[in-house]
Amino acid sequence: MAKRIIVAIDGHSACGKSTLAKDLAERLHYLYVDSGAMYRAATFNFLSEKIDLTDDQAVLSALNHMGLSLRIDAQGQSGVYLAERRLVDQLRTPEVNNLVSEVSARPEVRSFLVAMQQQIGKQRGVVMDGRDIGSVVFPDAEVKIFLTASIDVRVQRRYLEAHSKGLKMSHEEVRENLLHRDHIDSTRSTSPLIKTSDAVVIDNSNLTRKEQLAMVEALACLRMQ
């Protein structure tokens, strides 16, 4: 019987981490966890409650009372909830996009959510994507992927995603947002985005969805033996 492992997929925004992670989890019949959605949910909550991010006590109180949870539906898909409210489109608004990296950079936010993510991972059989999954959340993950793509490809992907959801953003606005997030993600003092020495780097700028899945699935199957 194949052993159940943890697959960590890290990379910058709009590199296709979630698409790859979802596809792989479906193929392996594993739980998919979008760690970025958890940070976006916290950001949405802070915006909704008008939390002052410079007020440490207010931030801690909001974290402890927002009722964040990850739930599995009848189809085996995971969803992020605040209390009884499932968040989907709320996670991708321009307001959340502009603030999520700042929220994610706060040590108390990362500590709170990393603890939740590590608890989920105890059951094994998990594919999780984010910025610090292989470096901080699961440093002993059997498979670590660092996903990259050119900035032009990433801009086009995020532009199409935004417009498919009715969000009117120009290519230049998308580019500025991505570059701003890249800078914050890579330079923050707590859990910056890094490529660990044992991660496999995949540049999917010119790969199809099926091609990148095949590469990672083959690697995962080797580690499951």
Percentage of residues in the chain with pLDDT exceeding 90?
88
Kindly tell me if the per-residue pLDDT of 74 is higher than 80: no
SS3 of 80-125:
EEECCEEECHHHHCHHHHHHHHHHHCCHHHHHHHHHHHHHHHCCCC
pLDDT at 20: 98
197-206 mean pLDDT: 98
Res 73: pLDDT: 78
Binned at pLDDT 50, 70 and 90, residue 200 comes out as very high
Measured torsion, CA atoms of residues 175, 86, 5, 114, in degrees rounded to the nearest 10 = 70
- Among candidates 92, 89, 88, 40, which has minimal Cα distance to 66? 40
The pLDDT of residue 159 is: 95
pTM of the model: 0.91
In degrees and rounded to multiples of 5, residue 18 shows phi and psi of -65, -40
Query: CA 85, CA 163: separation in Å to the nearest integer?
Result: 24
Tokens of 108: 């108390």
Mean pLDDT on 150-167 = 94
- % of the chain beyond a pLDDT of 70: 99
At 104, give phi and psi (nearest 5°): -65, -25
CA angle 113, 127, 81 (to 5 degrees): 45
Range 31-46 average pLDDT: 96
Mean of the per-residue pLDDT values of the chain: 95
Q: Give me the mean pLDDT over the 88-107 stretch.
A: 93
Q: Which amino acid is at 80?
A: V
Tell me, what's the pLDDT at 166? 87
The predicted structure's pLDDT at residue 123: 87
Predicted confidence at residue 165, as pLDDT, reads 86
**Ordered domains of the chain (ranges, CATH):** 6-223 (3.40.50.300)
pLDDT at 170 over 80: yes
The whole-number pLDDT of residue 38 equals: 97
Residue 160 confidence (pLDDT): 95
